Each structure stands twice: as structure tokens, then as C-alpha cells.
A and B are shown apart, each in its own frame.
Chain A
Amino acid sequence: MLKGAGNPFLIGGALVLGTAGYLAASAIKDTGVYYLTPGELSAKTKTDPTFYETGVKVGARVVNGSIVRAPGGMQVAFKMTDGAQTYDVVYRGITPDTFTDGVDVVVEGRLGRDNTFRATTLLAKCASRYENAPEKYKTTPGYKRAEQRA
């Protein structure tokens, strides 16, 4: 379509997009982490021990009553589970406001060979952050119907 000057432009364009593509691909390789459940992580470590001490992201639920805060420091220990597998987690740092018993959390960190997960980041997920459908409504017929209809 383009004559003469067109070719260098196409090359330039390919260069720009190629760079973007290369950056995207290599960055994924370098920074992408597995997002697993405790059960999946356990299965992975059984078949492939390199999953120990490797950075992963785990989504799980905090076991009720398992949160222990170290006095004075900012260290917190708790258990997380998906029903299939439970891991001890230690985390140092500020915990989010929503971090309490029974919430869903996403932790990023490494699973040690002692099966303790050392988290470097801790996010707590409110199942429905801005919806906050109240428990008591859930038991009412109206709510159920709404759920089915929806």
C-alpha cells in the first residue's frame, strides 16, 4: 500500500509493536505467578518439589479462630484452607481492615518445606464488597426468589 517511504514506516511500526509484544511476553515470564488454591498447591508440591520456596499466589479462606497476633510487632499467624488442604500462614505487616475470621484472602509468598506459607502480601476479599447483602435477608423468601430470578 505504501511506496518508498512506506517500508521504513512498516519496519518502524513492527519495531514498536514488536517491542511492546516482547516486553509483554518477557514480563509475563518474569513476573507472572501461579494463582492456586491450597489443594492445588499441595498437589503441585507433591509432583514437583520446585513449587516449594517458589513465589505463588494462593486464594483461600481464613480458618475461624486461627488468627494469632504477636504482641507489639506486626506479625500475624493464621491458618488458611480450601477444604482440601490447610496451611499455616505467617505474615508481617499491616493487615487490611477486612481481614477477620472466615474471610477469603489472597496471599502472595512462598511455601516453605516445613509447610508454612510465608506471605509477603495479604489481601482480604469481601465476597461482595459494595453489595453487602445482609445475612438476614438471605433467609427470606423474597431474597431467594430474587436470586433465582437473577
Chain B
Amino acid sequence: MGELSLWVALLMAVWAATVSFAGGQMRRADLIESGERAIYATLAMVVLASLGLLTALLTHDFSIRYVASYTSANLPKVYTITAFWGGQSGSLLFWALILASYSAIALWTNRTRNRELMPYVTGTLAIILVFFLAMICLGSNPFERLDFIPADGRGLNPQLQNPGMAIHPPNLYLGYVGTSIPFAFAIAALLTRRLDAEWLAAVRRWALLAWFFNTVGIVLGMWWAYVELGWGGYWAWDPVENASLLPWLVNTAFLHSIMVQEKRGMLRKWNVTLVVSAFLLSIFGTFITRSGVISSVHSFAQSPVGMWFAAFLVLAIVVTAYLVSTRLQDLRSTAELESMISREAAFLYNNLVLVGIAFSVLWGTLFPIISEAVRGNKITVGPPFFNTVNIPLGLLLLLLTGIGPLIAWRRASVANLKRQFLMPVAAAVAIGILVFALGVHDLAALLSFTFGGLVLATIVQEFYKGVNARHHMYGESRVIALPRLVARNRRRYGGYIVHLGIVVVFAAFAGLAFKREFDLTLNPGDSKTVTDAWGHRWTFLSQGISRYSVLNRDVTAIALDVTRDGKPAGVITSEKRQHVDSRGAPTFEPSTEVGIMGSFKQDVYVVLAGVRGADDAEIRVTFNPLVRWVWLGGALMALGGLVVMWPAADRHRAQSGYAAVLKPRPIGERVPDLVGA
């Protein structure tokens, strides 16, 4: 049944693509409407197929290869459900489900708006749907049956049996797929040559939504890698990690440059390019995850699905390059950059840096392939490459995050600069000196804290000014003025909350300079003492190894009594797990449960690496400073994103306010700085 509904969905999507483009060309309302209905029908069919797969998973129908490959009878229920996106074909179906849902929502919310664009939006989305559904039906079908019915399935890889992994991929997919709606609008705008601000207004929220899920997905992925993979870090510049970062960088750039086009009518080519690139990079990310062209610890098995993605990627690049190049005339700016010292210029630099980072990450990720093709030698680059390139660029970006919001649009006056910069710069210098005095002498870390201080002071000053303005204007108490300020200018102050998250995350990155790592071997009763970066002496006393079985695994665990500077600090346990199937036979490789004793200052991160002989434990102890701040910063960024996106209770007002901003302005007219100034 599931398979049948997939085929029907495919046909529906083909129909939608055909009649939408035809309807748009011939201006036939009946065809356009038929195309939109076909998208809704596609969604219904994909939902049906998804329910079919979910039912098969939950009823343990092991005659289906996918079910047998990714679940087993003793797998906890929640992971039986998450196995939906745990494997290749299931995750593709999940992707199609999200895309169909997004498409339907986009069509529904635009049923009375943007009517000139919509046929082409529908058509473009339908083509993407056709691609995914065809790939699922022909290349990687989740409903494929085995010729026999195994007694039990293989079970889910234990490393995927983690709450982070249960929700990380959906978020990432929601983010990846989210870029296809702005892409569809961009294509529609290019095709119809309606390249004014109309299409941008329609996609801003979608780009934000994609950005939001992308952010959450990346942070959850980092958290999962940190607690589950046991190598002591959260980011390894692995190709798959890079692949998730690339659309994020480009989308972040877009969310900034869109403001320049709205306010000044500039950067039109650039914005189209960014929207298209974000989508292409999302597809590219999926491609390198699936194809095995770049070896990665995260890779799915090598599979022919990669070729589908490669073909689609090439097709999409060719089509969009053609469209953009033939429409350059329509993409001319309506205004010019007037001064280097202006908000526009700050945004431009922010964009350049973001795109520069994206390029260097892409370059480093692809370098093994490029070098092999060009020089016949496979040369790989690792974390040292990415750190060398991205630490300076990242710091520059952080600096711009502090500067941008302080500079006026168009042309900043000296008085304006003085007034705006005095406090933040003073605060940044003070923080820099303080941190240096505290013993931070690593240049990158020092700059990170100083620039972070600048951004922080900028945000505080902006909030303070806004609150004060309300206080004086409306006579509100400052306590009431703050939430109202944010509520009335969600976009601006939500953005500042995101910036705050960025500062926190950068501070946490700076903490990596103080990471310490020790490999210890401990017999029961043995103790070893090591010193962390702050000079504290930590003693680890082994209480010995215990072995026991639970649910679907055999566990070997070590418990360590920990003392800090002679005072008891608690117990850390770390486990080695061997998962077993329902008959007790081992499945998968053993996996490690990390023991973490955390505080906001640092995590003590203990991994039981192995047991030699009877109970000779090999452990690795890592002192990871400020790791919690990464999760905190990630949460702040997500919160800021939510504030910006939150549909206003007074929705109509928000929209009309939006329209006011979008109203074309004659060049030369003074743009009022709406808030805060």
C-alpha cells in the first residue's frame, strides 16, 4: 500500500509540474488550480506512504528490508519510530514528506497573494518533489521486501539510540528542505522577471524557518557527537558536519543582505545568488552524505542514490545559472552605496566574510577530490586547515557583529559614530584587559573575548536605548518597556538575541584553547592525579569494573571516585556497551557511554577506552572548558530565531508594517531609522 501511494504521489507531482508551468505560460487559471490541487494530493499520498512505513516499523514487519535492517524486536519503541529517518530510504521518504508539507503550506498561505509567481513556485516545487519521489521509487525504496521473513531485525546502531540523534536529523532535514521554498520563489521571480521586493517578502519567513531548524539541527548534532562519540569534542570538521554548516552560513548571509535590499534596493543579484546557493548547498550536503564520494565517519553506505543527487545538482546549477545570467538587467540595484561607513557596507562585509568562510569550508571539504582530479594525488586537509582559515575569519565576523548594528544607514556621521561606539568600545577594551589579567594569553581566545565584549555591549546599549525611548515617549516603566520593545520590533531585537547566542558560542569556542587531555591506566583501587588548565588537581580513584546485562545490551562499566584539590567532587561512571539481539547474540560494534561531570566552568569528560586483562581499565580524561556555553548559546540563537519568526498576535499590523518598509522609496529620500535611534 505504501509503495502504491508513492507511485501515485510521483504521478501527481509530475502532473503538478506540467500543468503549473503550462498554466503560468498560458495564464489559464484552471490549469494553475489543478497544479496546486495536485500538490495537495501529493502530500496526502506521501503522508499515506509515511504512515505505511511507520506501521510496518511499529508492527515489526521484518519482511520489509528496511524494517529488518534498522530495527529489532527488543528495540525501545521511541527508537523504533525514529528508525523512520535512521536509514537511507526512510530518510528520503521523510525528506519528501517535509517537502510536500512545506509546499502545501506555502501554496496555502499564498493562495490569495503573489498570484503571478505562484504557478512557477508550484511548478518548481513539483519538480523537486518529482526528483525525490522518483529516487525513492526507483533507487531506494523503503518498502522493498525480502524473499524471506527473518525472525528478528538487525536493530538500530546503538550510536543512533540517543535522544539527540532522535531529533537531530529531523531538524536538519527541516532546515535543508526549508531552503527549497525560497529557491522556488527565486526561480519563479527569475522566470517571470518580477524581481522586485515582492518575492523577497514572501521568502523571508521561510529562509528564517530554514535557518532556525538548521541552527537547532547543527547544535543537536554537536551535542550528540559530544556525548555519544566519545572523542572529547563536538566539532571535527568532518565533511558531513561541514555540509550542514554551508547552507547555514549562506542563509545567515541572506538574512542580513535581505535587509539591505528592503531598505535600499541594493544587492539584488547577490540575494538571488544566496537563495539559490543555500538550496544547492543543501542538496550538495545530502549528496556527499549519501554518495560516499568523500569519506566521512558519518557516511551512509555508498549507494547509487548519490548519482541521482549529482545529476539533480548539475541540472539545478545549469538552470539557475542560465536564468540569472539572462536576467542580470532586471536585477540592477536601484540605489548605490554612498559610504564605506554605513550599515550597508557593514552588511556587505558581513556577507563577504560569511561567504568567504563558506567557500573555504567547501574548498577544504572538496580538496581531496579536487587534488586527485587535478594532480592525481589525494591530499586531505583536517581540522588544522579549517582552524587556520576560520579562526581569523570568524573573529572578523564577530567584530562586524558588534559594529554593524551601531552604524547608521547610508552614511554615518562622526557624531553618530562617537555617540554609538564610545560605550561598547570602552567595554570591549575593559573586558579584553580583564581577561588578559585573568591569564588568557592565547591571541585567538583573547580577541574572541574582546570582540564578544563589544557585541555584548552593543546589544546592551541597543536594548537600553530602546527601553529608554519607550520610557520617555510612553511613560512606561522600564520593566514593562523591555518586553514591549521586543514584542513590537521582533525582527530587530530577536536578531540581537541571536547575536547574544553567537557571542556565547564564540566564548565557548575560545575555551577550547584550555582543553587538557590525559590517558590513564587504572587497576581497581589505583588512583592517578592530573592538573587542569585552571591549576586544579584532580584525582581519579578506580572503584573497579562491573559487568552486567540490561534490556538490549551487555555493559562493562567503571566507576571513578573524583576529588578536586583533595575535596570529594563525586563519582563519574563510563560504560562500554555491547548491544545484543533478542537471542543474546552480539550486534554491531561495541559503543561507549561517556561520563561527564559538568559545570559552567568546564566538563570533566571520562571515556572508558577499554579493559585489558581482568580489570585493567584504560581511560581518557578530558577537561573541556566552557562546553555548556555552546549549548546555552545554541539555545539563545534558537530563541532569538523564534522571537523573529513568531507570528504576531496582531498579525495584520505586522504585515502592514512590513509593507511600509517595502514601499519603494525614491532614491535620495531620507530613510527614517524606525526604532531606537
Contacts and interface: CB of A to CB of B under 8 A. Distances in A.
Interface of A: 1-3, 5-6, 8-9, 12-13, 16-17, 19-20, 23-24, 26-28, 30-36, 57, 59, 69, 71-74, 93-95, 97-98, 100, 106, 123, 125-134, 137, 140-143, 146, 150
Contacts of B154: 132, 134
B379 A32 contact: yes
Contacts of A30: 384, 388
A17 to B, nearest CB: 6
Contacts of A123: 297
Of A100, A132, A142, most buried by chain B (CB within 10 Å of CB) is A132
Interface in B380-404: 380-382, 384-385, 388-389, 392-393, 396
Contacts of B653: none
Contacts of B377: 34
Contacts of A5: 337-340
B301 A131 contact: yes
A71 B613 contact: yes
Given A17-B356, A94-B610, A32 B299 contact: no
Contacts of B300: 128-131
Given A9-B348, A23-B388, A31-B382, 9 more contacts: A8-B340, A9-B337, A12-B345, A16-B356, A27-B389, A33-B380, A34-B378, A34-B380, A72-B521
A142 B147 CA distance: 5
Max chain A C-beta neighbours (<10 A), residue from B337, B348, B382, B609? B337
A146 B142 CA distance: 12
Contact of B381 (A31, A95, A150): A31
For the complex of A and B, list the 5 residue pairs with the smallest distance between their C-beta atoms, beginning with the closest: A20-B356, A128-B301, A142-B147, A94-B609, A131-B301
Contacts of A9: 337, 340, 345, 348
Interface size class on chain B is 35 or more
Contacts of B160: 130
B519 A17 contact: no
B20 interface: no
A146 B385 CA distance: 40
B524 interface: no
Chain A interface mostly: mixed
A132 B367 contact: no
B5 interface: no
A131 B356 CA distance: 35
Contacts of B388: 23, 26-27, 30-31
A147 to B, nearest CB: 10
Contacts of B108: none
B607 A150 contact: no
Contacts of A34: 377-380
A71 B610 CA distance: 12
21 contacts: A1-B336, A5-B340, A6-B337, A19-B393, A28-B379, A30-B388, A34-B380, A35-B378, A72-B616, A94-B519, A95-B609, A128-B300, A128-B301, A128-B302, A133-B69, A137-B68, A137-B146, A140-B146, A140-B148, A141-B147, A146-B144
B489 interface: no
Given A5-B340, A13-B348, A97-B592, A146 B384 contact: no
B298 A94 contact: no
B521 A73 contact: yes
Interface in B322-338: 333, 336-338
